[in-house]
Amino acid sequence: MSDIEKYGDIKPREAGYCWKELLKRAIPGMVTELVLQVKPMPAKNTGTIIFRRYNRINPALTPLAEGVTPSGEKPTYTDVVIQLQQFGDLIFYTDVIEDLHPDNVVQEYGNILSEQMAETKELLNIASISAGTTVYYANGSARSAVNTFTTVGQLKKIVRYLRIQKAKPITMVLKSTPNFASQPIQSSFVAYCSTDCVADLEALPGFKTVEQYGNPDQRLSDYEVGAVANIRFIATSLFYAWADAGGAAGSMITTSGTSADVYPILILGQDAACTVPLRGATSGYPIVTSTKPDKSDPLGQRGSVGWKIWHGGGILYDPYLARLEVACTLNPTI
């Protein structure tokens, strides 16, 4: 594929600049990539990408014998093969809009497409990390019974489970920039949840808001809301509830007015899941076609602005991830 076919009517250098600008607008609103294991989309490669997890080796509890070299260990690893898929969309515009509209429509369309691109990638990541098999329920033993929020005790129980599984707390996250720069954070597990959960989180005993951290540089993201039980919570409106999936709604949020909506809270340790990140030059590219005459459009009346990205992701090690299902209070009190 030639450059003109790949990027439309813009040159590779212009496409690189456009892609950087798209990422600048898209990435600050993304949260899932912060703590996932990431591997850049390889250029000129097959349709799969391999994430590798090195397995633990047993402790060496046998004393060394004088002058005798131990037999040694042979490290083992588990390869997780992720199938790559391509996603994209575009906006059409006409020469009339281009000629008469007071705004720079190509730039404005690029702005809203960057937001669409970010939301697409976020929802794909959320879907993949929501598929874990370790599930806790705020009350009862099934989703159909859930009609309360969680407790600090239950959160501590989940942290205890993750530690038993030897899941490591997260100490390093990606920055919200188009490149792969990272930043250290205080050791903790990280949870993703819906913004509907925030009021109930803030009501938990001992919950500390980000304003109470004392060090603003320790904030994971603008979407972090606080911490409790050695878990830091990031809230996004892209986490949707299972409508009417719980028990009797009572005072909880409900779609139909009868059964409670059930929300997932995903609690992760280090290297629990992976993704091909929306960062770097190989993660995708913009496509811009101008309103110029050709065989399919003899009068040059139509143009378009679009994007394409590659995505792949999944769970690397299921025991390092827990899904907690809760209901949220409809009318929170102070």
Asked if 137 and 123 sit in the same domain, the reply is no
Write out pLDDT tens, residues 199-238: 999 999 999 998 888 776 678 888 999 999 999 999 999 9
Asked if 220 and 309 sit in the same domain, the reply is no
Q: What is the per-residue pLDDT for 7?
A: 65
In-domain check, residue 59 = no
Asked if 263 and 137 sit in the same domain, the reply is yes
Per-residue burial over 103-118, b = 16 or more CB atoms within 10 Å of its CB, e = otherwise = eebbeebbbebbeebb
Asked if 224 and 298 sit in the same domain, the reply is no
Q: Evaluate if residue 1 carries a pLDDT over 60.
A: no
Q: Evaluate if residue 61 carries a pLDDT over 80.
A: yes
Which structural domain range is residue 20 located in? 3-52+77-128+275-315
Asked if 282 and 220 sit in the same domain, the reply is no
Asked if 184 and 242 sit in the same domain, the reply is yes
Among 269, 309, 270, residue whose Cα is nearest residue 287: 309
Q: Evaluate if residue 77 carries a pLDDT over 90.
A: no
Q: What is the per-residue pLDDT for 202?
A: 96
The dihedral sign for the CA sequence 176, 181, 185, 190? positive
CA 98 vs. chain centroid, Å, equals 36
Tell me which of 222, 246, 273 is where a domain ends: 273
Write out pLDDT tens, residues 45-55: 678 888 888 88
Asked if 203 and 264 sit in the same domain, the reply is yes
Percent of the chain with pLDDT over 70: 89
Per-residue burial over 283-303, b = 16 or more CB atoms within 10 Å of its CB, e = otherwise = bbbbbbbbbeeeeeeeeeebb
- Based on the structure, what is the number of domains in the chain? 2
In-domain check, residue 66 = no
CB 302 within 8 A of CB 235: no
CA 310 vs. chain centroid, Å, equals 15
Asked if 156 and 261 sit in the same domain, the reply is yes
Asked if 154 and 261 sit in the same domain, the reply is yes
In-domain check, residue 87 = yes
Asked if 166 and 120 sit in the same domain, the reply is no
Q: What is the per-residue pLDDT for 102?
A: 67
In-domain check, residue 213 = yes
> What is the rounded end-to-end Cα distance, in angstroms, of the chain?
60
Write out pLDDT tens, residues 116-125: 998 999 999 9
Q: What is the per-residue pLDDT for 278?
A: 82
- Mean pLDDT over residues 298-322, rounded? 90
In-domain check, residue 320 = no
In-domain check, residue 255 = yes
Asked if 228 and 169 sit in the same domain, the reply is yes
Quick one: three-class SS letters along the chain? CCHHHHHECCCHHHHHHHHHHHHHHHHHHCCHHHCCEECCCCCCCCCEEEEEEECCCCCCCCCCCCCCCCCCCCCCEEEEEEECEEEEEEEEEEHHHHHHCCCCHHHHHHHHHHHHHHHHHHHHHHHHHCCCCCEEECCCCCHHHCCCCCCHHHHHHHHHHHHHCCCCCEEEEECCCCCCCEEEEEEEEEEEEEHHHHHHHHCCCCCEEHHHCCCHHHCCCCCEEEEECCEEEEEECCCCCECCCCCECCCECCCCCCECCEEEEEEECCCCEEECCCCCCCCEEEEEECCCCECCECCCCEEEEEEEEEECEEECCHHHEEEEEECCECCCCC
Q: Report the range out of 9-13, 44-48, 74-78, 243-247 with the highest average pLDDT.
A: 243-247
Mean pLDDT, the chain, integer:
87
Distance CA 308, CA 286 (A): 7
Write out pLDDT tens, residues 252-308: 999 999 999 999 999 999 999 999 888 777 778 888 888 888 888 888 888 888 989
Asked if 22 and 142 sit in the same domain, the reply is no
Write out pLDDT tens, residues 130-185: 999 999 999 999 999 999 999 999 999 999 999 999 999 998 887 766 666 677 78
In-domain check, residue 279 = yes
Beta bridge partners of 8: 288
In-domain check, residue 269 = yes
